[in-house]
Chain A
Amino acid sequence: MNNNSESSMKVAIIGSGLGGLLTGAILSEKGYKIDIFEKLKFYGGRFTSLEYKGFQISTGALHMIPHGKRGPLGILLRKAGSKVEIVDSNPEGELLYGKERIEVRSSVFPLGSKLRFFKWLLKYRTFKSDPWMDKYERELDDLSQKFLRSFLGWALSIKPSEIRFSKLLAIYKNILKYNGPGIPIGGCKAVVNSLVEVILSNEGRIFLKNPVNKLKAENGRVRGLESKNGWEKYDVFISNIGHEATGELLGKGYCKEVESKGIKYSISINEPFVGHTGVLFTLNCSRISGMNEVTNADPSLAPAGKHLLQVHQPLTGGVEGEIKSGLEELRGLLKGYEYEILAIQSYFDGWPVNRMRSGLDVGYETPYSNLFVVGDAAKGDAIEVDGIALGIAEMLEREFGERIDLG
């Protein structure tokens, strides 16, 4: 990309999800002129929340940042000038296994399974052996096998058969580097609100209910876009709507996405069930992979005296059947507790967990030299929104000369 004077560079951002807003905030701080086009009547995409019966119900994410305040998203939020506060989870995670609750630590996994992992690592380094994880998971003991399934379901909404060893290894390395999750105070909405504040304070513009209908390209560069504002020219185009939908705007597909799907149960519960700020991995369950109770960190996410319990289930089969099975498991888990299911949200077909399944991400680049994709179709090798942040950091460094120290 050409390095024109930053202050004169006009950047169009298509979509105001977390990726679009984070990129917009950082570039607006650097003096770029930012215009964001959003088709819906509010910004934040799958990373915001709206009040329902006094609860902050998210539009997608689980009011949680996988690597907490020291992770890639935490670092980029600070870089963007966001004032949002993130409380790191303690414990990071707990296993519900049989009748026991066990804090997630390396020592709880049997030595035999840890040695398997090093054997796979050696095979990968020596012979480039890189199978899908279902080939390997059978070599593990019961607890490690169930944890692997539960972790992949919770964090990436996939099964072991959908991720290769090398990708799991990359994600594992980032867990060692950045540690476990954290909860943004005020939930997802507080995060996106803080970014919008930065963008507007830098004279960026956000057009709601104003979808981009077309992109016009010539000689490998995108020249302009068409929205309710008419045709406009920009220097750089950043798309937060995925590679596939971006291709449709160009009238020329260049990438097919493979989404990951899921179901989220938002539950009002009178007494805490999880009881801490980390993730409870439900190893006993075959459908539900885990849950969190964010009100243990931020009581304002629910009405006084209530907790917000969020349960995630990766979606593999038909939605109706999966919800029925998930609800059965929930009834067993929450036996003896007073609770009410507020909503059962599902995520697929245009509103998925991830537009591009983790492990298959194709990066931020497109066939056009001034068009880049951010968001859940262009993640780096970290979990969910932290993966989005890694993707953005790479783009900012390579295309905008903006190096971000990721620790």
Chain B
Amino acid sequence: MGRRIVINDACVGCAFCMLVCPYDALEVFGKAEVDYKACTACMKCVTCCPNSAITTEGTNSDGNPDE
């Protein structure tokens, strides 16, 4: 299975992820929501979240488990 972006409860809805996403795959109406059809799990949102509210689950494209 591929890597998947997950939003956890620490999300306050600041919208940084929406603003940095190159694929318009995030919307923020109070909380961040991922459009999995558009998301490529490029990790840009994960590294920009000021509250560490975005994590990944599953394995990455190399087939290795995520940290």
Contacts and interface: CB of A to CB of B under 8 A. Distances in A.
Interface string B3-15: 0000000101111
Interface residues of B, number: 19
Contacts of B30: 263, 319-320, 323, 344, 346
Given A41-B47, A350-B50, A344 B19 contact: no
A40 B50 contact: yes
B50 A351 contact: yes
Interface string A345-384: 1111111000000000000000000000000000000000
A157 interface: no
Contact of B14 (A209, A323, A346): A346
A193 B28 CA distance: 25
A1 interface: no
Interface in B28-67: 28-31, 47-48, 50-51
Interface in A51-70: 51-53, 57, 59-60
Given A341-B29, A343-B28, A319 B51 contact: no
Contacts of B29: 323, 341, 343-344
Contacts of B31: 319
Contacts of A60: 14
Contacts of A349: 10, 12, 51
A344 B13 contact: yes
A351 B19 contact: no
Contact of B13 (A50, A57, A59, A346): A346
Contact of A348 (B12, B15, B20, B27): B12
Nearest to B49: A40
Contacts of A209: 47
Nearest to A344: B29
Interface in A22-69: 39-42, 50-53, 57, 59-60
Interface of A: 39-42, 50-53, 57, 59-60, 209, 263, 319-320, 323, 341, 343-351
